Amino acid sequence: MTQGLFAAALLAFFSSQSAAIDLEAYRLVDLSHSYGAETLYWPTSPSAFEKTELAYGQSEGGYFYSAFTVCTPEHGGTHLDAPMHFADGGAATADIPLENLIAPAVVIDVTKQAEADRDYLVSADDVLEFEAAHGQIDSGSIVLARTAWSKYWPSAIDYLGDDTPGDASQLSFPGFGADAVRLLAEDRGVAVIGIDTASIDRGKSVDFMAHRVGAAQGVSNLENLTNLDALPPTGVLVLALPMKIDGGSGGPVRVVALVPR
């Protein structure tokens, strides 16, 4: 999306007589899981979320003070994949344009298909069917697939399909097909693709073509989303601002949707 189109989209979204944004006119929906002891990571991740207390309680000065260290792999919990994750020379986390991360969003509902087949692939036909009902997806959009998989969080066996440490060969959950990503990334020019499962590639994937096709076009991904059932198919503004990591291939992200009341 060009800067002009981005500005126009935000102006239309926040059309108001006042200069200030009236947040009471919107429902704010948190699309992120919190980080903690139960946060799920890819089975081959060498570590998980760690929080260590540095201080907690009354200080020598007589006031309360608390501080912690936190440590996490980039790709776990609700997180963003930068294009660099699967594209040599792709944008790193800190270099993703802000207009890609604050943009109008659409939600493609494939819950029925995923319920019937836990290895379901969101297809190009699913995208075209959505467009037939709601109009063509605009360039620069954030496209989210709702599978209802977040209902299984944080059970690794239910969410990932397998809970064997260090082994990702038996995973089972829905994702995007390469044909859908190719349509969205190459033909529609979307900025971000997201899903409420552990990866935009389904659990059974061994070639990660959804990641590769999107990353080659500069598309970022949002994974392990939640609360997508609270969003309408269109008319939503999504803010997905990851930790700004220099040279990073991704990172933890707080994703928030603004839904007009």
Give the number of residues written for the chain. Answer: 261
Beta-carbon contacts of 60 under 8 Å, excluding residues fewer than 6 positions away, are none
pLDDT of amino acid 2 = 53
From 33, 75, 79, 85, the catalytic residue: 85
pLDDT of amino acid 18 = 46
- Closest Cα to residue 108, out of 205, 202, 207, 181? 181
**CATH number of this structure's domain 3-45+74-260:** 3.50.30.50
Residue 28's CB is within 10 A of a number of other CB atoms, namely 10
Q: Rounded distance, CA 237 to CA 14, Å?
A: 10
Based on C-alpha coordinates, what's the Rg of the chain?
Answer: 19
Q: Rounded distance, CA 134 to CA 126, Å?
A: 12
Residue with tokens 């995973």: 171
Q: Where are the domains of the chain?
A: 3-45+74-260
- Phi and psi (nearest 5°) for 107? -125, 115
Q: How far is CA 79 from CA 7, 59, 62, 123, 210, in A?
A: 26, 35, 39, 23, 17
Amino acid at 229: D
| DSSP track, the chain | --HHHHHHHHHHHT--SSSS--GGGEEEEE-BPPPSTT--B-TT-S---EEEEEEEEE-TTSSEEEEEEEE--SSBSSEEE-GGGTSTTPPPGGGS-HHHHEEEEEEEE-HHHHHH-TT-EE-HHHHHHHHHHH-PPPTT-EEEEE-SGGGGTT-HHHHTS---TT--TT----EE-HHHHHIIIIIS--SEEEESSS-SS-TT-SS-HHHHHHHHTT-EEEESB--GGGS-SSSEEEEEEE---TT-SEEEEEEEEEEE-
Q: For every one of its 261 residues, what pLDDT tens digit does the chain have, with 9 covering 90 and above? A: 454 555 555 556 555 434 567 888 999 999 999 999 999 999 999 999 999 999 999 999 999 999 999 999 999 999 999 999 999 999 999 999 999 999 999 999 999 999 999 999 999 999 999 999 999 999 999 999 999 999 999 999 999 999 999 999 999 999 999 999 999 999 999 999 999 999 999 999 999 999 999 999 999 999 999 999 999 999 999 999 999 999 999 999 999 999 999
Q: Rounded distance, CA 261 to CA 259, Å?
A: 6
Q: Rounded distance, CA 250 to CA 242, Å?
A: 8
Half-sphere exposure of 104 (CA within 13 A, CB side): 20
- Closest Cα to residue 149, out of 33, 29, 36? 33
pLDDT of amino acid 16 = 44
Known catalytic membership, residue 211: no
pLDDT of amino acid 17 = 38
